[in-house]
Amino acid sequence: MEVAVTEQSVLDMTREAAMAFLEADADGDALLDYEEFRMAVPERMRGQTSEAALRELFNTADADGSGQISMSEFFLWTLTIAQSVGGKGLEAVFMRYDRDYRGTLDESEFAAACEEMGFGGLASELFSELDSDGSGTISYSELLGILKGRVNVVSKDCKRFLTTLAFDATKPRANASARSGGLLSDVAKGWTLHGSDADALRLELREKLQAAKLKVSDLYRLMTRGQSRSLSAATFSSSMVDDLGFKGELSVLEGVFTDLDDDRSGVLGISELFGWINGKHSKAKLAKTVTLAYGRAEDARLAREARAAAAVDAAHKAAKAAGATAPPAPAAEEVSADESVFSLASIEWSAVTLQSELQDMLLRAQLLPLDLVDAYEGYAYEGQLSFKQFLKMMKRLVNPISVEELDLWDIEVRPAVTAL
């Protein structure tokens, strides 16, 4: 099987690899274990490759030998293979974003190139690592040299993995109905979407995709016409209306796009579309704003209502036992200041109480610890936060906004965080 060595071929490879990663990441932790990785391998390649060879393929991508492949490991592995099989194609991608033709990319140029290749969420983290001298630019010839130095990880099966992904996605371009994007186009002709906000529209669209047994990657290919880079606001809106049958207010689509375009680049990449459809984006949005006070007032109200109902029930039982026809109304429960307004000062802070407060907050917000980490680091976090990052996250969760609360953070809460 031969794939033409062009800039477009490289983009096909990297974008298909990004979608393969996102779809195989079943638990959404931005890490692939071996079983998840197997699902990222094209089906026809799995059928032609021994289990031992697949395991070896996994090991070449798992650079740190942790038994899991992070998305940044996967991206560098993908770029290494693309450099090996793509000739000048990868260099051409970087050159297109080199606005002043000096052979270097600044952070915004590098981010745009990563976005086009399907790994935009990793751009900031990778740029920081590659900009070792702090100059604010990276030489893409040096980056290509680094990738060439990793050529020992590029086996025949590695090349087959990436080229099969690209080949399967691009081969039927002349017959769009044979492609998954084309199949979605046929299925979506009968769709009507009415979502009045981002979440309602997301749920409606996801339900239709699931009913048709189609994937988010199929949606992406349809919306980009199987060849475009990323989704602009105009392309997103026109595809929602023309291809997917959206009948609601156009302002809803504009709001969805603005909400998803976190980096204000004016385009949506693969990971952003996946994050929206799978609900990860809305969780991340909540995780960025949630504090330890989240849901406490509602919890206190429900607790008071439960106690009031229990008091009424007890009064009825007592009246019945005494032969009275109507029990006296129980006195209304007084709402204390600590119940109506959450007070950090009311807590005796320790590592144990801090851990308990965190767990309660996550339960109230229906979030996982990983959602908090994702809100700060996205797919590039490598499964852990540095202590400095952890302190920053915890301070925001405590949300000290007054002088007294800042003192409380420094004197009581921060020591509890340090003791965790």
Give tens-digit pLDDT for 248-288: 999 999 999 998 887 777 888 888 888 888 887 777 778 88
Question: pLDDT value at position 178?
Answer: 37
Q: Which of 9, 21, 15 has its CA nearest to residue 89?
A: 9
Q: What is the pLDDT of residues 300-333, one digit of tens each?
A: 677 777 777 887 778 778 777 777 666 665 555 5
Query: Contact 363/295 with Cβ under 8 angstroms?
Result: no
CATH class of 7-167: mainly alpha
Degrees, nearest 5: CA angle 214-219-222: 120
Q: Distance between CA atoms of 284 and 275, rounded to whole angstroms?
A: 9
Q: Distance between CA atoms of 259 and 401, rounded to whole angstroms?
A: 26
* 378 contact partners, CB below 8 Å, separation of at least 6: 121, 122
CATH 1.10.238.10 range(s) for the chain read 7-167, 176-278
Q: What is the CATH number that goes with domain 176-278?
A: 1.10.238.10
Asked whether the predicted pLDDT for residue 165 surpasses 70, the reply is no
Asked whether the predicted pLDDT for residue 420 surpasses 90, the reply is no
Q: What is the pLDDT of residues 111-153, one digit of tens each?
A: 888 888 888 777 777 788 777 778 888 888 877 777 776 655 5
Q: What is the pLDDT of residues 352-385, one digit of tens each?
A: 999 998 998 888 888 888 778 777 654 444 556 7
Q: What is the pLDDT of residues 59-106, one digit of tens each?
A: 888 888 899 998 888 888 888 877 777 667 778 888 888 888 888 898
Question: pTM, whole model, 2 decimals?
Answer: 0.67
